[in-house]
Structure 1
Amino acid sequence: MDERELRQREGAGRRPDADLVRFLETMPAAFSFLDARWRFRYVNAEAERLMGRSRTQLVGQSLWDAFPDIVGSLFETSYRTATATGHPLTFETSFPGVPEGWFEVRMWPGSDGLAVYVLDVTDRRNAEDAARRATARTGLLARVSAELSGQLDTLSALGRLAELVVPILTDGCIVTLVDREGRARDVGSWHADPARRPLMNRYAQIRLDTLPGTSPVAQALLAGTPVTESVAAVLDLMGEGPARDLLVALAPATAVVLPLTAESRTVGVLTLYQDAGRVMTAEDVDTARQVAAEAARAIARVHRQNQQAQLAEALQRSLLTDPPALGETAVVVRYVPAAEAARVGGDWYDAFLQRNGSLVVVIGDVVGHDTAAAAAMGQLRGLLRGIAYYSSAGPAEVLRGLDEAIAQMHDETLATAAVARFECDGAGGRILRWANAGHPPPILLTAEGTATVLGGDLGDLMLGVDPAAVRAESVVPLPPGAVVLMYTDGLVERRESTLDAGTAALVGHLRELAGSPLDELCDGLLRRMLRGTPQDDVALVAVRLADPHPDESGSTSPHG
């Protein structure tokens, strides 16, 4: 082989090495090679830039000496694992001292060392994170809308609003509502850190009583404009005390207060607390404003519902007059409105004397729960009273006359009613004559504690369906001291139970309360049966003849 051919072969053998070096030097990823003793043997140009040192400084130096910060980190664990197992490894992380960047690290172990490849994936990670945050914000708006528009109990949903916005938009949150009288109160709080949730809850209970008028919350409530302030500045405004101590313990860095504005007035605020290092992006702020707008609309609905409920209840109470004073006969009436706004409606009672002197007691319920039902109730109540007084007819005929009047004058009204008339039996005793149009049956309670449901199941067809329906009439003797109780279905109906179970519970309570003064008996029934504010309106009327309690008044107000 001649010298020329030898040089050609040597040149051909060197060319791949030169091409490889040129490739490694120009590649956009950092590449380095560590020998079996963890010393740098090769560092390309991008690795020099990434590590901030020249290859002359690095080559020959131990990895652990050159970068002591990575000792004990994911880097060391992964490097040693790859070397020990002989298997390649890949992971993503940020470099110590470079928290704003993300890098993909790949390593290939060999018999003589470890090859390490590092690629900057910050842009990709940021894009993925932005996409996740955008999806989270969209989902948050959907959940907020569903919670606030789909809940019957809107106030409770507003209290849970803080849990929805954490941690997507903020680290901590307090929701504040302003009632129609201008009183502000915190109704919900939450924190991303479970350990700080009790602190946030206690802070929300007392902060409004201690925050100065120059605080961000006070400014947002007063001016109706967003306020962003450092918590350090807020602490400077606060006096010494538990509220300031709690805010120090919570340790937020920034407070963002967004007013909840509806119908040209501030109806609440949303306070977002950011920990140090967290910054709300423009997209976060826009989403928070949309959440605030949704919450404001929900609060406005609550205000309207409360106003409607107050008007309906006032109308209904104005139509429920006091019973007559009847000497030895005691008549007690009660009316309790429903818990949820605008659920007032068509429950009514009445007690009056016919022209012949007979006592007539009525309990009824117009279908519906609004001011229209309350108005219809007032009209039916007046019609029934007029028919019964003028005709002196018995309960069945009174109901038939009312049914005919409904068909001619209120053809879209449906109602249930029970009518009872107290009569003498001609032998010095008393009887109860009664008829029932689809209403819960009356209950007879003797002085000895025997309780009897009169008629068992619901009575005849309800009013407003068929004016030609035949109305049955029943008669039962009334022993001295007996109590007749008439009531609406709100007393015995429960979503989680049956009507039969409710009636059985009512009968049991009546037996236990037998012998009590009539006022105490009615109040005791309401406490035991309702256990708080009812889900539906409740009206009741109780009558005791030949009252054995001479100190008891002859009648009591429906507003007790």
Structure 2
Amino acid sequence: MDRPPPAAAAAAFAGDADRVQSARRLVTASSNPALDRLAELAARLLGAPAAQVSLLSDVQTISAAVGSAAEGVAGPGQPTPLADSLCTVTATSAGPLVVTDALADARVSGLPPVTSGAVRAYLGVPLRGQDGHVVGALCVFGPDVREWAGSDVSLITALASSAVTELELSALSVDLEAVRVRHQLAVSAGGVGTFDWDLGTGSLTWDENLLQMFGYAADDFGRTIEAFNGRVHPDDRARVTRALQESIDTVGPYEAEYRIVLPDGTTRWVRAKGQSLADESGRAARVLGAAYDTTAARDEDARIARVLESMSSAFFSLDREFRFSHVNGEAERVLGRSRADLLGGSVWELFPEAVGSEFETHYRAVAETGVPATFEAFYPAPLNAWFEVRAWSDPDGLSVSFLDVTERMRAQRALEAAHAATADAAERLRLIVRVSEDLSSTLDVEEAYARLAQHLVPALGDWCLVTLVDEDGGLRDLGCQHADAARRDLVEQYREARLQALESSSYLFRVWRTGQPTGVAAGATESIAAQLAPGSTARELLERLAPQAFECLPVRARGRTVGLISLFHDRAADRLSAEDLLLATEVGDRAGLALDNARLYSQQHRVAEGLQRSILTPPVQPDHVQVAVRYRPAARAARVGGDWYDAFLTPDGATVLVIGDVMGHDIDAAAAMSQVRSLLRGIAYSTGASPARVLSGLDAAMEGLDVGTTATAVVARLELSGERTHVRWSNAGHLDPLVVSPDGSVRSLDSGASELLLGIDPTAARSDHVAVLERGCTVLAFTDGLIERRDIPLEERIALLRSVVADLAGQSLEDLLDGVLERLVPGEHEDDVALLAFRLHPLEGDRPAEAGPERVPRGLPPVR
């Protein structure tokens, strides 16, 4: 029970009426080509197979998507439930949702896009409207595991801001856009318009499409160049006239893009291409050509330009001749040139140092192959900077996104220089890594702490001792090492004898009391021997070891001394330098923190497990029913606390059996479990109600008493009717128990459709189910810690459990539970496990010996 069910989170998210209305407003205006380009841009910039923009009202609507739509991922315009969407998880997160491996991430592992294999790596950011509501998400994803860099998160966050801006602009202008689109469709339906200008007569002939494009009726068009100029925007007229005149003078091509002003004041963009034709004398006699409306493309380009302009990273586009065709503001700043200087210019001429460099190699390779490239390269003066560059091909040429990473590269180069400066420095770093890895590789930190001596010798001393400060305040020499293998037995003997012989004023005890390091620069044998009991074995061994220099360092954690390190040197000249002393202190601090963490872990584990076990009281043992229980805590303290079992009698003599799992772990979960268990006990005992009514009452009590948790549970009631035993049960979202028949066959105590967990909706309907059990039947109930594993499908684990139970069906009830635990949770495990089983013994005769003695409360009526 590691997280709330997606359905509950989605329901709460969809329940915000203001947020849903805000999202729906944008859904109506989300058919925006710029969003498709934005999704494509996100996929390209982040090198992801797929990207999408989703709006989340009471359903998910994909407004834009790019990449192959694999099974389990809906396409644009197809509404999907919020509970099935990774974007819902993104929208309900505090910030970006970064998922390296979705199958291993509990937040999303159960969602359809993940289980279908369509999504393995995912990066998404919430889209927040101007009113502050989260209205959707922008995400990139792919079917393979991927580590996302910090720059990836920054880039998609910048794009998300642009997407929201574009959606808001579209929503504000939706009515005007509808009018414009209708007009555009009318013009497009007419096709391309053509013109023929006779330079001798001055007659200008337009076809019907061109007349409609320029807003002329056939009778109103004067068939002159003046009629054309009358529609051209005043700011563009001189430029268009020059282009026409140049075509005439050179008897060459004509090309221009310009604005026209229609009679109703609307401005449109038109692109025209033509050719002057010569007469017999070689002079231009007429100009023929065609024109078409480019307003939509212009608007789309403007939207994309706004997106690119809002990016925090630099961006430019190159045409197929490697000339600048677009530059955003950040690129102007980084490159140190204005748009006017860059646009239309060749990248090789404007930046000659790029010729023959990695920049040219990668740019040309991407242009030729279409395969995107990411690389780092240095550009000399005048930029004098390192850049991280991403380049990809597009229909018009090449797109490039780049970041100035000079500071990072300088730091990296400085670090590399520092590493290369001295082999000793590198070895010191490796020593810290080795110690950290050793201390973190095992839960038995005392053992790893004892091995610390092997890391310190010979790096920091000829031999050493590692001492532990016990929780009760005593000292223990745990580990030792000597660089000379022939003398290790001697050091081991000294380790065993030293503490008993040391005086309380010794260096070791002084460092323990003060937490300050100390040492002897020369004559260490005499100085230390004076602190050992005369005639002791320790003094004799020390004199044979004969150290000349010595340091004693405290191992500290959270402001207290948890251990001590004693370093010995055969020569005084080999005593620790100031730098080596800092290294030894760093190693000691890391060891101390690991040691203290292990102790805190152990304390927490003992407290949580003790609380859990104190709550789980022994079950009743009615005459005809044998009940057996098991509780196994998790290997990690943070996972102890949520599972419980119970078995008790009600005043009417019925036996009630319960298995449950409270969401969460550790002491808080154990406390919440105690509340839920006690409430259930009280309701069942005082009311004698059916399991379904008990669970409904528990749900109401949890809400009324503000028990802030959710839980699963199965409540079963055994009712004896003559020679037959009925089991009446109700299941609140828990795993179905197993029934083992006397012949060894195994089936599920299946209640059909799963009912809602406890703690979500106290009004939820709950159902009772009844089954007749013959004598000799065994019922096994369990919590999810028994079968759930991150790397194995749940169905496989359930099948394994059924097989194990069938194999052990002939065993006693106690042996059955022990065998199940041994085979399904051997060794360390991540979650705690609770088991409850009961077996129906024959009514005639005495209670079997294997069932143990009967145990029921006094004063209750006979069990029935």
Deviations 1:54-97 (A, max 9, x none): xxxxxxxxxxxxxxxxxxxxxxxxxxxxxxxxxxxxxxxxxxxx
Q: Report if aligned partners of 1:140, 1:164 keep a CA contact under 8 Å in 2.
A: yes
Q: Larger relative contact order (C-alpha < 8 A, sep ≥ 6)?
A: 1
Distance apart, 1:298 and its partner CA: 3.2
1:246-395 correspondence to structure 2 within 5 Å: 256-262=551-557, 265-272=560-567, 278-395=574-691
Q: Give 3-state SS (helix, strand or coil) of 2:718's partner.
A: strand
3-state DSSP of counterpart to 2:851: coil
Post-superposition shift, 1:480? 1.0
Alignment partner, residue 406 of structure 1: 702
Is the 2:622–2:855 contact (alpha carbons within 8 Å) kept by the matching residues of 1?
no
Equivalent residue number for residue 181 of structure 1: 472
Give me the CA root mean square deviation: 4.4
Q: 2:683 corresponds to which letter in structure 1? A: I
| Cα separation, 1, equivalents of 2:794 and 2:476 | 39
Q: Taking structure 1 as reference, are residues 332 and 273 closer, same or farther at Cα in structure 2, changes over 3 Å only?
A: farther
Match of 1:334, SS state, is strand
Q: Could you tell me which of 474, 494, 497 is aligned with 2:789?
A: 494
Say whether residues 1:553 and 2:855 are aligned partners. no
- The normalised TM-score by structure 1 is 0.62
1:377 CA displacement: 0.6
Counterpart residue number, 1:541? 836
Structure 1 residues 183 and 347, CA, compared in 2 at 3 Å: closer, same or farther? Answer: farther
Does the 8 A contact of 1:399 with 1:471 survive in 2? yes
Aligned to 1:481: 776
Could you tell me how far apart the structure 2 residues matched to 1:165 and 1:266 are? 19
Offset from partner CA, 1:135-188 (integer Å, 9 cap, x none) = 654676578679879998866775675676566545666654444234656777
**Partner-residue secondary structure (3-state), 2:639:** coil
1:107 is aligned to none
Q: Quick one: distance in 1 between partners of 2:792 and 2:780?
A: 22
Does structure 1 retain, via aligned residues, the 8 Å contact 2:549–2:574?
Answer: no
Aligned residue pairs total: 426
Alpha-carbon separation, structure 2, partners of 1:302 and 1:257: 23
Shift in Å at residue 316 of structure 1? Answer: 2.0
Flag the 1:284–1:366 CA change in 2: closer, same or farther, 3 A.
same
Residue 39 of structure 1 is matched in structure 2 by none
Q: Could you tell me how far 1:363 is from its partner in structure 2?
A: 0.9
Aligned residue in 2 for 1:446: 741
1:178–1:184 CA contact under 8 A, matched in 2: yes
- Pairs within 5 Å for 1:64-213: 131-134=422-425, 137=428, 169-170=460-461, 175-182=466-473, 207-208=495-496, 212-213=500-501
Q: Is the 8 A contact 1:447 1:482 kept in 2?
A: yes
Confirm or deny: 8 A CA contact 2:481 2:491 kept in the other structure: no
Q: State how far apart, in whole Å, the 1-side matches of 2:640 and 2:566 are.
A: 35
CA contact (8 A) 1:441 1:458 kept: no
Shift, 1:384, TM fit: 0.8
Bigger drift between 221-230 and 332-341 goes to: 221-230
Aligned partners of 1:313, 1:300: CA distance in 2, in Å? 20
Q: 2-side partners of 1:384 and 1:204: how far apart?
A: 59
* Contact 2:611–2:670 (CA under 8 A) maintained in structure 1: yes
CA separation in 2, counterparts of 1:527 and 1:270?
A: 41
Task: Kindly indicate whether the alpha-carbon contact (under 8 Å) linking 1:228 and 1:254 is maintained by their aligned counterparts in 2.
Answer: yes
Identical counterparts, % of pairs: 43
Instruction: Give, in whole Å, the separation in 2 of the partners of 1:205 and 1:515.
Output: 55
TM-score, normalised relative to structure 2: 0.42
The alpha carbon displacement at 1:282 in A equals: 0.7
CA separation of 1:184 and 1:378: change in aligned 2, threshold 3 A: same
Partners of 1:204 and 1:445 in 2: how far apart?
A: 58
Q: Please, which moves more after superposition, 531-540 or 161-170?
A: 161-170
| Change in 2 beyond 3 A, CA 1:297/1:441 | same
8 Å CA contact 1:488, 1:538 repeated in 2: yes
Tell me, which stretches of 5 or more residues in structure 1 are unaligned?
A: 1-126
> Residues 210 and 141 of structure 1: is their aligned pair in 2 closer, same or farther, counting only changes over 3 Å?
closer
Partner AA of 1:550 in structure 2: A
Q: In the TM superposition, what whole-angstrom CA distance separates every residue of 1:80-134 from its partner, at most 9, and x where no partner exists? A: xxxxxxxxxxxxxxxxxxxxxxxxxxxxxxxxxxxxxxxxxxxxxxx99865544
Distance across 1 between alignment mates of 2:584 and 2:680: 56
Task: Give the secondary structure class of the aligned counterpart of 2:799.
Answer: helix
**In structure 1, what is the Cα distance between the partners aligned to 2:593 and 2:780?**
44
CA distance in 1, matches of 2:827, 2:501: 37
Name the counterpart of 2:101: none
**Distance verdict in 2 for CA 1:381–1:411, change over 3 Å:** closer
Separation in 2, partners of 1:147, 1:406: 46
CA shift, 1:484, in A, is: 1.3
